[in-house]
A and B are shown apart, each in its own frame.
Chain A
């Protein structure tokens, strides 16, 4: 026997008890904590507890050069890093008043969509694992790895590519890259049937996910829910279409949406979005070879680069929702202030607390994963 030094906290004469989900728990996404007050199996109230991933990003950025910051921005959201780079680069470009060459914009769009595919494949597995089905996770992560191989091929980095730079992208695509991409898209489409049978039409999964964590459209709007979670409530709002950036206004794609706003609607929206992304990528494969030109607008020596005074609010649609960078420059060689608006900062705190109230203990993990919350975006 070994001595233990624990003391249970007594909560007075009530049937309620407290349970921690996280920070190290399979039912929580990443390093995040959620405290539940339970009565039997029903959640009386939940309280998010963030800060486990806090690095003081915004402070760090104020202490580094404009160009150095490119190395740390993707680290704000690990599963979907590409939109971070693009948003930061776009904000700096807007302050500088320069624009990336058209070819660079197409390549950026391709990078964003590939990143979205990877992130969604990752999410399916996570969501399914919270309901006890692990096979989609194994499949999804393995398929995502193929996307990461492509990333490695054209950016040099598996997860963090650091491929963008204010004014364009770093490198030209390797030869025959588009062919590889096309092959990958064929493969992913051939997997659609498997995923549908295993996950999206699985009777038990549908039963678990339907009606779980349902948001109405007005509640979603009130809580500033964005991205696939908002589209699952029936509002077809997408930054890519409504506040177009890069070349999205030249591309054809639908904005999938569902009516019910529950976990099942959310995962279906993500599924449809995955195939919309594939559709966009196919258009890019078709158009990109005909777009010739530079991939970078020249910028001054980045080590002594003073970005002129100004501010910009750049928004992109990441796989989680509306991602925004607010960058302020006072004319120095470092940013004066960078504010990151991660979509999950809305989803993982207030929305999760709202949805958890009255939910079952079984459903809490599923709600969190169906919102696709990314804790580092909250903590930064």
Chain B
């Protein structure tokens, strides 16, 4: 039994709306909670970046431990296929606006593990990536510079449209789902219903649907409210 969701995005009629938007965007760029998923070696350069020597907190970036609260998903290095599944689950649980940063060359193109049967090569096939920080591994300064770039992107999103890559996941869900299915098999599904969300936020486009989403619908278990019983 799937709930029909009828809420549509409201028209913005407030004349001050864009002022609020700008202010919120400014705050978003100033305060970033990051979830650093230690998928690989790059994770070792994050503690120096976070702690006393480079101190990320002075830029308003602090670590958070659950995906629900985080704004940035830091993928720190190669993603093995087993990890990639968890990364996608994590990504889908995060609340938008959300950003993905791929650290290390391995997230760009497989890096030095390009021969490996166990690692996924291109991260942006499976989720939209905002900023890549190449290097093996990038120094803390490079990580900080990448985060600064992300902050600039968020602040200038209105002009340049670089800070809203997360919308792409809803808009072109079929593409991402197709790549995921190719790697994990056709019965792949996540607990989050992306299509319903895309409808809810008014982000669905033609590319949200396709043959892959049809395949998903075939075996997707229906949403059932959890039973609560007290014995």
Q: Which residues of A contact B (CB under 8 A)?
A: 2-8, 23-26, 30-31, 51-56, 59-60, 63, 71-72, 75, 78-79, 122, 125, 137-139, 141-142, 144-145, 148, 158-160, 376, 379
Q: Establish whether residues B48 and A51, one from each chain, have CB atoms under 8 Å apart when the complex forms.
A: no
Q: Which of B3, B41, B119 contacts A3 (CB 8 A)?
A: B3
How far apart are the CA atoms of A7 and B40 in the complex, in Å? 30
**Which of B45, B118, B200 contacts A2 (CB under 8 A)?**
B200
Interface residues of B in 86-123 (CB under 8 A from A): 86, 90, 112-113, 115-119
| A25-B86 Cα distance, complex, nearest whole Å | 12
Which B residues have a C-beta under 8 Å from some C-beta of A? 2-3, 5, 35, 37-41, 43-45, 47-48, 51-53, 65, 67, 78, 80, 82-83, 86, 90, 112-113, 115-119, 136-137, 139, 190-193, 196-197, 200, 220-221, 223-224, 226
Q: Which residues of B contact A51 (CB under 8 A)?
A: 80, 82
State the main secondary structure of chain B at its contact with A. loop
Residues of B within 8 A of A122 (CB): 47
A54: chain B residues within 8 A (beta carbon): 80, 82, 118
Contact A5-B80, Cβ < 8 Å, known A55-B116, A56-B117, A142-B51: no
- In the bound assembly, the distance between CA atoms of A376 and B77 in angstroms comes to 13
SS class, residues of chain A in contact with chain B: loop
Is the pair B52, A139 in contact by a Cβ cutoff of 8 Å? Answer: yes
In the assembled complex, the Cα of A123 lies from the Cα of B191 at a distance in Å of 36
In the complex, chain B residues whose CB is within 8 Å of the CB of A24: 35, 37-38, 67, 86, 90
Contact B48 A55 (CB under 8 A): no
Q: Looking at the complex, which one of B65, B90, B196, B224 makes contact with A26 (CB distance below 8 Å)?
A: B65
Q: How far is the CB of A301 from chain B (nearest CB, A)?
A: 22
Report Cα–Cα, A52/B78, bound state, in Å.
Answer: 10
**Contact residues in B for A72 (Cβ distance below 8 Å):** 112
A52 contacts B80, CB within 8 Å? yes
Does A23 lie within 8 Å of B193, measured CB to CB? no
Chain B neighbourhood of A148, CB < 8 A: 48
- Report yes or no: A3 in contact with B197, Cβ–Cβ below 8 A: yes
Q: Which residues of B contact A55 (CB under 8 A)?
A: 78, 80, 113, 116, 118-119
Q: Judge whether A31 and B221 touch: CB under 8 Å.
A: no
**Nearest opposing residue in chain B for A137, CB measure:** B51
**A138 to B117, Cβ gap below 8 A?**
no
